[in-house]
A and B are shown apart, each in its own frame.
Chain A
Amino acid sequence: MNEQRVLEEVISIVKPFVKNQEALSSIGPETSILKDLKVNSARLVDIVLELEDRFDIEVRDEDADNVRTIGDAVQLILASKS
């Protein structure tokens, strides 16, 4: 699975939950979902559900807890698909 494609999909999934719209212009693998994008922590559940649906994977709660950056989400997806 193409890593760049996955990155773009992850960004599009996270985008509707971003409160800090300015941070979207410099979004990348290092961007922290909670700290930089100011996504409401309650909505991480919904982002994970959308990732599961979009990439047809199942994410365990423990793995979801370790996703802090956009890059973490990308790596999680790549690992699930391999």
Chain B
Amino acid sequence: MADAIRVVVTGLGVLAPNAHGAAAFADALRAGRSGIRRQARLAELGFGCQVGGIPQLTDELVEAYFRPDERFAMNTNMIYAGIAALDAWQDAGLPRPLADEDRVDWDSGAIFGTGIGGIDTVAEKLVPKTDAGKVSRLGSSMVEQVMSSGNSARVAGLLGLGNRVSTNSSACNTGTEAVIEAFHHLRAGRAERMLAGGSEGHSHYIWAGFDAMKVLARGSNDAPERASRPMSASASGFVPSSGAAALVLETLASAERRGARVYAEIVGGAVNCGGQRMGGSMTAPNPEGVRRCIREAVAMAEISPASIDAINGHLTATIADPLEVQNWAAALELPAGKLPLLHATKSLIGHALGAAGALECAATVLEIAGGFVHGSLNCDDLHPQLRAFADSVVHRTREVPDLKLMAKASFGFGDVNGCVIFRRFDG
């Protein structure tokens, strides 16, 4: 393994319900600031869950990022992705290419995922006009907004990317899988830099299906910031949210050549599926699949499970939370009292679906770089099946100066899993 290409994170772009920008996000995580608010439209429409997470954007901000001819064909998902991507690129110290600059960066690509995509364009423009027999009134911008690859395609144009550019999709595992795929692409020597990210819009059409499944939190509509309760006894479902995050992954050689600042290193990453058997289904994980995924990532990182300092869990606040923690313990072969520190970023920002894994990987990177583990909100009433792990659960932000290894995992509908191992970069 001595010659394996090393992959590091050199830039972060974050557009979260509780913060815009990597530094602001780190502050919000440290301070335990929730991005969950009451959403009037959901109440009007009679949703069971009437709270959600939506990044706070102004028209002025969007105009500052994109020219009118760019904005013309960008829906919410693409605007989120574009902002996160441009921010990450700048954060990495890379210049934003000029539109008329006739140069392509053949060594940089993007894997930018989404879970649902441009459903707002479909529902609000494409379907009504088409059904009214007014196809010619749609204009030219429908396809690029409704195609599943809309976000990665738009990002590629903004940054002049010339390597692999694609949108991946694996439900709740989308963002984490993007990071892992980008990591492997770089390790295979196929690019120097890969933008890995995920974005998801906030359309009520996205959230309706989850509300109908009764998997959304419906018991805290009058107290939005208490609604997202991973690992708690009173958890009643997840809080839907939206936004985007992008990580600039780069070979260490490229980062050193240009004197880039390194946030952290990625030392392992694995994705798999549980086959929707052995206890798994479309919406529930096969425990064996989860454990195999975690073990594979850990093995790739060539570390002992006991050396992992903290886990940034998938932990959505559904009934699956206790099973997830048991899977971690089994995969790492650690007794309950010896499990790494445990916390859920979703307690602050809800479940951003296609953007979740990317936002949470960004959080993990900021934690490793900053030497802290943010508090997991709303689980003071810890789930009874997690009492054995109580010592691991971080309720209030903890400074952890010797934080060195963190595991981040996501588990998505389809019984798909992803796990990344991040290591503090010391050179």
Q: Interface residues, chain A, CB within 8 Å of chain B?
A: 15-20, 38-40, 42-46, 49
User: B140 contacts which chain A residues (CB < 8 A)?
Assistant: 42-46
User: A46 contacts which chain B residues (CB < 8 A)?
Assistant: 72, 139-141
Task: Determine the interface band of chain B, counting residues with CB < 8 A from chain A.
Answer: 10 to 19
- Complex Cα distance, B140 from A42, in Å, reads 6
A18 to chain B, nearest CB (A): 7
Q: Interface residues, chain B, CB within 8 Å of chain A?
A: 67-69, 72, 99-100, 137, 139-141
A42 to chain B, nearest CB (A): 5
CB-based contact A17/B100 at 8 Å: no
Given contacts A19-B69, A43-B69, 18 further A-B contacts (CB under 8 A): A15-B68, A16-B68, A16-B69, A16-B72, A17-B68, A17-B72, A19-B67, A19-B100, A20-B100, A38-B100, A40-B69, A42-B140, A43-B140, A45-B139, A45-B140, A46-B72, A46-B139, A49-B139
Contact of A19 among B99, B139, B141 (CB under 8 A): B99
Query: Can you report 20 A-B residue pairs in the complex whose CB atoms are below 8 A from each other?
Result: A15-B68, A16-B69, A16-B72, A17-B69, A18-B69, A19-B67, A19-B69, A19-B99, A19-B100, A38-B100, A39-B69, A40-B69, A42-B140, A43-B69, A44-B140, A45-B139, A46-B139, A46-B141, A49-B137, A49-B139
User: A49 contacts which chain B residues (CB < 8 A)?
Assistant: 137, 139
The 10 closest A-B pairs by CB, nearest first: A16-B68, A45-B140, A46-B139, A42-B140, A17-B69, A46-B140, A49-B139, A43-B140, A19-B69, A45-B139
- Complex Cα distance, B68 from A81, in Å, reads 29
- Complex Cα distance, B139 from A56, in Å, reads 17
- Complex Cα distance, B99 from A44, in Å, reads 19
B77 to chain A, nearest CB (A): 20
Q: Count A/B pairs, Cβ under 8 Å.
A: 29
A59 to chain B, nearest CB (A): 11
User: B99 contacts which chain A residues (CB < 8 A)?
Assistant: 19
- Complex Cα distance, B139 from A16, in Å, reads 15
CB-based contact A43/B100 at 8 Å: no
B129 to chain A, nearest CB (A): 11
B146 to chain A, nearest CB (A): 15
- Complex Cα distance, B65 from A32, in Å, reads 27
User: A15 contacts which chain B residues (CB < 8 A)?
Assistant: 68
Nearest chain B residue, comparing its CB with the CB of A40:
B69
Nearest chain B residue, comparing its CB with the CB of A39:
B69
- Complex Cα distance, B141 from A17, in Å, reads 12
- Complex Cα distance, B99 from A19, in Å, reads 8
A73 to chain B, nearest CB (A): 17
Nearest chain B residue, comparing its CB with the CB of A43:
B140
- Complex Cα distance, B101 from A19, in Å, reads 12
Nearest chain A residue, comparing its CB with the CB of B67:
A19
- Complex Cα distance, B70 from A39, in Å, reads 11
User: A43 contacts which chain B residues (CB < 8 A)?
Assistant: 69, 72, 140
User: A45 contacts which chain B residues (CB < 8 A)?
Assistant: 139-140
- Complex Cα distance, B358 from A50, in Å, reads 39
- Complex Cα distance, B139 from A40, in Å, reads 13
- Complex Cα distance, B69 from A19, in Å, reads 7
A21 to chain B, nearest CB (A): 8
- Complex Cα distance, B67 from A17, in Å, reads 9
B72 to chain A, nearest CB (A): 7
- Complex Cα distance, B67 from A43, in Å, reads 14
A68 to chain B, nearest CB (A): 18
User: B141 contacts which chain A residues (CB < 8 A)?
Assistant: 46
- Complex Cα distance, B135 from A49, in Å, reads 12
- Complex Cα distance, B139 from A45, in Å, reads 6
- Complex Cα distance, B157 from A42, in Å, reads 15
- Complex Cα distance, B68 from A22, in Å, reads 15
User: A40 contacts which chain B residues (CB < 8 A)?
Assistant: 69
A72 to chain B, nearest CB (A): 19
- Complex Cα distance, B69 from A18, in Å, reads 7
A17 to chain B, nearest CB (A): 5
Nearest chain A residue, comparing its CB with the CB of B141:
A46
Nearest chain A residue, comparing its CB with the CB of B69:
A17
A55 to chain B, nearest CB (A): 16
A11 to chain B, nearest CB (A): 14
User: B137 contacts which chain A residues (CB < 8 A)?
Assistant: 49
- Complex Cα distance, B25 from A54, in Å, reads 44
A81 to chain B, nearest CB (A): 21
Nearest chain B residue, comparing its CB with the CB of A61:
B136
User: A20 contacts which chain B residues (CB < 8 A)?
Assistant: 100
- Complex Cα distance, B69 from A39, in Å, reads 9
